[in-house]
Amino acid sequence: MAGSEWTSHFLYTIRSRTARFILQYSRETGCFGPLAFVIALWFMTAQAGAGEIEPRSYTNTPVGINFLIAGYSYSDGGLSTAASSPIKDADLKIHTGILAYARSMDVWGKSGKLDVIVPYSDLSGSAMVAGNQRERQVSGLHDPRFRLSVNFYGAPALTLKEFAKYHQNLIIGASIQVSAPLGQYDRDKLVNLGNNRWFVKPEIGISKGLGAITIELSTGVTFFSDNDEFFGGNKLEQDPVYSAQAHVTYNFGRGIWAALSGTCDYGGRTTIEGVQSDDLQSNWRVGATFAVPLNRNNSIKFFISSDVYTTAGGDYELGGIIWQYRWGRGL
């Protein structure tokens, strides 16, 4: 139900581009250990800001409602790399947990949302690295994420009682998401769970209600700060990533809905100490989501996604479940 739109793939916490510049840097310097390839694999499947599939991001929600969100996802897949990469036959199993808080609010008469997300992952993997079999396990917290969304057309701020009479037509909204460099990071290590840099993603979206069907389109761009303490005392830079996604959602009634989605990302080429990497991405994914309420305060959501076309990133399958508890004004 309302609020679950903030949780779709919050589990994707760190950007897949980080993996690619780790792999590129390793190829150029020869500094590539078993820990590097495992974390790189995790970055491939734990994206943030791009590659996410988030249906119902731009819907109206009664103001004054709080959401406590917990989730779990499982990913199993390989790694897409250039033919020259020392990584071969990679396979990774990732268990990711998420804890988040979200609140709907009145923003100058318009409906808005604020969410805070903190993820944790446990992963294990193996691959052939330069002809040798490597295995690794790692777990820990990652950089938290914050997002503010406002629907500035077609979604007025309503109480729960007023919301009962609301019918969606056209909604236009915008959001801004920030990832803070608060995760674990050691500048003397090649790979860390945190990124040691900020990213900011502004986005705009539209949602059109057509009876039981809702069509939603959104587009955004993710900007990255530099990491001046990258491994070896190097400076890492990354170009913006441009993303777009589309969703078709069907409302079965009684708070039950399902969505089919697609997303694409373009850009994100990285540079290390002025040397540009050959990692421009043009990636496409599809996914499906199903949500059902358990009672007035609790709901669950199931999701799956898969890659369709990948030029730089991970070739993997992902599925998971989200539990949501809501409380607040009028409940």
26-50 burial: b if 16+ Cβ within 10 Å, else e: bbeeeebebbbbbbbbbbbbbbbbb
Of all residues in the chain, the percent with pLDDT exceeding 90 is 49
CB 72 within 8 A of CB 304: no
The pLDDT of residue 77 = 64
The pLDDT of residue 193 = 67
Task: Give dist(CA 84, CA 90) in Å, integer.
Answer: 14
φ/ψ of residue 270, rounded to 5 = -105, 155
pLDDT band at 34 (very low <50, low <70, confident <90, very high): very low
Of all residues in the chain, the percent with pLDDT exceeding 70 is 73
From the candidate CATH numbers 3.40.50.720, 1.10.540.10, 2.40.128.130, 3.40.50.620, the one assigned to the domain spanning 4-328: 2.40.128.130
pLDDT band at 92 (very low <50, low <70, confident <90, very high): low
Q: Pick from 135-144, 185-194, 214-223 the range whose average pLDDT is largest.
A: 214-223
Task: Give dist(CA 98, CA 118) in Å, integer.
Answer: 6
Mean confidence (pLDDT) of the chain: 79
The string of pLDDT tens digits covering residues 201-251 is: 999 999 999 999 999 999 999 999 999 988 778 898 999 999 999 999 999
Q: Which residues contact 289 (CB under 8 A, 6 or more apart)?
A: 8, 53, 55, 258, 259, 261, 301, 302, 303
Alpha-carbon separation of residue 246 from 41, 77, 101, 173, 214 (angstroms) = 27, 24, 25, 15, 11
Written as one string, the DSSP assignment of 50-105 is SS---TTSS----TTEEEEEEEEEEEEE--B--TT-SEEEEEEEEEEEEEEEEEEE
Residue from 223, 106, 112, 117 nearest 174 by CA: 112
pLDDT band at 1 (very low <50, low <70, confident <90, very high): very low
Residue 101 scores a pLDDT above 50: yes
pLDDT band at 25 (very low <50, low <70, confident <90, very high): very low
Residue 192 scores a pLDDT above 70: no
Residue from 242, 146, 122, 271 nearest 198 by CA: 146
Residue 110 scores a pLDDT above 70: yes
The string of pLDDT tens digits covering residues 43-83 is: 333 343 445 678 999 999 999 999 999 999 887 765 544 43
φ/ψ of residue 207, rounded to 5 = -140, 125
What pTM was computed for the model?
Answer: 0.79
Q: Which two tokens stand for residue 268?
A: 């994100």
Amino acid making up residue 326: R
pLDDT band at 17 (very low <50, low <70, confident <90, very high): very low
The pLDDT of residue 128 = 60
The string of pLDDT tens digits covering residues 276-296 is: 888 788 889 899 999 999 999
The pLDDT of residue 22 = 39
The pLDDT of residue 249 = 97
pLDDT band at 151 (very low <50, low <70, confident <90, very high): very high
